[in-house]
Amino acid sequence: MNGIQRIDSNPRLSRVVVHNGVAWLSGIVAADCTQDIREQTRQVLQRLEELLAEVGSDKSRLLSAQIWMKDMPGDFSAMNEQWSAWFASGETPARATAQVCFDAADIRLELIVTAAV
């Protein structure tokens, strides 16, 4: 519709919106937020991979990432370990990380990215 493609839309958000060669993704949290930071990060990155595939993109084409964390001092190094291992290629996005508060107490990180399609 008018050059905009929306994936998995509901009344609050669309999981992915593609326009003009760029995919904008909704914030991704882990499927199972009872898990620790290592496993939450792994689940978030796996979900990201699936969503990118739905619009013909992949992790080598990420442009930007914001990582919102519940506990930066506590979780930063474990998150980064998973993150860097996932980018085997070194084709990393522009990134910013901050500690915020989440509605649901168990969420330890949320990831917001854009990607080239």
Residues that bind its own copies (CB under 8 A): 1-4, 6, 9-17, 19-22, 24-27, 60-66, 68, 72-73, 76, 80, 83-84, 87, 90-103, 110, 112, 114, 116
Nearer to its own copies, 6 or 36 (CB): 6
Nearer to its own copies, 36 or 91 (CB): 91
Distance of CA 44 to the CA centre of its chain: 6
C-alpha pair distances (Å), 93 with each of 73, 84, 96, 102 = 22, 11, 10, 24
CB 108 within 8 A of CB 37: yes
Pairing of strands 22-25, 109-116: antiparallel
Nearer to its own copies, 31 or 94 (CB): 94
CB of 46 to its own copies, least distance (A): 18
